[in-house]
Structure 1
Amino acid sequence: MAISIADIKALREQLGTGMVDTKKALEEAGGDLEKATEILRLKGAKGNAKRADRSTSEGLVAAKASPAGYTMIQLACETDFVAKNEKFVALSEKVLDAVAAAGATDVASALAAPADGKTVGEVIDEQAATLGEKVELAKVVTLSGDDFAVYLHKTSKDLPPQIGVVVAYSGTDADTARAIAQHIAMFDPQYISRDEVPADIVEKEREIVTEISRNEGKPEAALPKIVEGRLTSFFKQVALLEQDYARDNKQQVKKVLEDAGLTVTSFARFKATA
């Protein structure tokens, strides 16, 4: 039977599918739009299954205020070509809206959140079929706090933000709080203070630097002092307050925060590239 251009156009606008696939689905469905939609979605689901083992080393980071505080997501895809695609960016906005509204705090609860009469997971799968790549919600966080500083960084001007930082803080100096978010984007601390670093991680690092120092032939009597010095360097790598400030490496972050009357209560950093 003859398939009208209007039906092809309507279905393509609804699903974002290609001209040939849309026309074939309508022909197979005998012109029935609902049946053709089902055919195209099933075809997309099969494509998603084939892509399941592929790696997703590109994507974007997005964030917004939510009823529970501030929510950030990392939506991943396979290539930078899709990462900057309008449909992928629009999908990220829809997902972020739904996840923020639900107050989801992890990927599992985010995927189950309602979105357009479906779940977020279903919306992502349908769009992945259209885009022809594996798309997944890689990370989700919702921070609570008095105030929030947000920094979204573009690693390339033609791509959406691929590094995102949200800082929950108390205090009134919003400019310094944002500068701290930028610092976190650059230096990637894992904890706020050295006290937050788990004891087993500290002990493992102590064993490593002790062994390194012995292998370097350091005197046994000097080892405790040498090891403590190297542990201090380790804390400067992983603990925000111990780090040298990005804008002035003669000051530690904790001094900058003290001078600004700020207290960082939590933070999250996502990076959407491998």
Structure 2
Amino acid sequence: MASVNMADVKRLRELTAAGMMDCKKALEESEGDFDKAVDLLRVKGAKDVGKRETRTASNGLIAVKHEGDSLAALLELNCETDFVAKGERFQELAALVVGHILASRPSDVPALLDSEIDGKSVKEHLDEANAALGEKIEVRRFTVLDGGYIVSYMHKTDPQLPPAVGVLIQLDSPNAEVAKDIAQHTAAMAPKYLSPNSVPADVVEKERTVFEQMTREEGKPEAAIGKIVDGRINGWYKDFTLVEQSFVKDPKKTIGKYASEAGVKVLAFARYKVGQA
């Protein structure tokens, strides 16, 4: 069996993200032929793809792609470790997929996976990366915003890793400063909905039930419960809807008021954080 240069083992690991022992064995089996070792690891990875389906992909990155100022896509692509997330191949795959999303605008993740890039389905591209990198690779979610004026903000929680938080903000008319301010606010404050009117009725009803039970357990007078619950629902809107949140740069104003004073309206937003709902 050929002796293995540890520098080659390290280089092979950096290229493929495979384990150190797997890299060493592949180089030994290929008698030091680096390219053959890469192929051996890919074959081994392909055999293990099915086993990885049940593993958790909680790392990854957020990718963004713009086409002018009025069309953009945001993507969360997941993997299992930050080692793979910061690798060139994984980041190239994210760029490929988010560009395809912008061009094809699939309706949902299953439609995206079935769609084709250069004659292969997106699912096949993911499986190839899965095999080569030795980890579960999956598209978790994506958003496309079209129309108005759209800006993005990408935030790195670790300077050694790709962006873990990404935001799209859609205004009804151009205002770069306001859009940037609202995007950075959104990244920090994590609103769940745009406005009170955009919150699904079942979500509001669930919160109302919780607040009503809480209020009764506090022993509040029966006649006051409805008013107290309404107040708590309004407080919930201020916490979780973007336009009702207090602007981080000027807490005396809501985001809605800040935008209105600048002569614009927030039409939509998307905020993704890797591994977070």
What interval of TM-score do these two structures reach, taking the shorter chain for normalisation? 0.7 to 0.9
Per the normalisation by structure 2, the TM-score is 0.83
Q: SS state of the match for residue 192, structure 2?
A: coil
Aligned partners of 2:201, 2:126: CA distance in 1, in Å? 39
User: What are the residue-to-residue correspondences of 1:1-274 with 2, within 5 Å?
Assistant: 18=23, 20-21=25-26, 24=29, 42-66=43-67, 69-274=71-276
Alpha-carbon spacing, 1:120–1:25, altered in 2? closer, same or farther (3 Å) = farther
Aligned partners of 1:47, 1:119: CA distance in 2, in Å? 20
- Partner residue, 1:3: none
Q: SS state of the match for residue 142, structure 1?
A: strand
Contact 1:125 1:135 in 2 (8 A): yes
Alpha-carbon spacing, 1:23–1:65, altered in 2? closer, same or farther (3 Å) = farther
Contact 1:105 1:142 in 2 (8 A): no
Contact 1:105 1:141 in 2 (8 A): no
Contact 2:192 2:241 in 1 (8 A): yes
- Partner residue, 1:30: none
Aligned partners of 1:174, 1:86: CA distance in 2, in Å? 31
Q: Give the letter aligned to residue 264 of structure 1.
A: V
Alpha-carbon spacing, 1:130–1:102, altered in 2? closer, same or farther (3 Å) = same
Aligned partners of 1:216, 1:159: CA distance in 2, in Å? 47
Per-residue displacement from partner, 1:80-126 (whole Å, max 9, x unpaired)?
Answer: 11111122112211222222222234212222232233122111111
Per-residue displacement from partner, 1:43-97 (whole Å, max 9, x unpaired)?
Answer: 3222111111111111000111249921111110111111111221122112222
Aligned partners of 1:215, 1:161: CA distance in 2, in Å? 44
Structure 2 unaligned runs (5+)?
A: 1-11
Q: Give the letter aligned to residue 70 of structure 1.
A: A
Aligned partners of 1:19, 1:121: CA distance in 2, in Å? 30
Aligned partners of 1:66, 1:111: CA distance in 2, in Å? 22
Aligned partners of 1:110, 1:20: CA distance in 2, in Å? 36
Per-residue displacement from partner, 1:122-158 (whole Å, max 9, x unpaired)?
Answer: 1111111111111111111111122101011111111
Alpha-carbon spacing, 1:23–1:108, altered in 2? closer, same or farther (3 Å) = farther
Alpha-carbon spacing, 1:240–1:109, altered in 2? closer, same or farther (3 Å) = same
Per the normalisation by structure 1, the TM-score is 0.83
Q: Which 4+ runs in 1 deviate beyond 3 A?
A: 15-26, 39-43
Bigger drift between 90-99 and 71-80 goes to: 90-99
Cα RMSD (Å): 2.8
Alpha-carbon spacing, 1:25–1:99, altered in 2? closer, same or farther (3 Å) = farther
Alignment: residue pair count: 256
| Percent identity of paired positions between Structure 1 and Structure 2 | 40
Alpha-carbon spacing, 1:60–1:100, altered in 2? closer, same or farther (3 Å) = same
Shift of 1:20: 5.0
Q: Give the letter aligned to residue 269 of structure 1.
A: R
Contact 2:42 2:132 in 1 (8 A): no
Shift of 1:40: 6.3
Q: Give the letter aligned to residue 254 of structure 1.
A: G
Aligned partners of 2:30, 2:132: CA distance in 1, in Å? 14
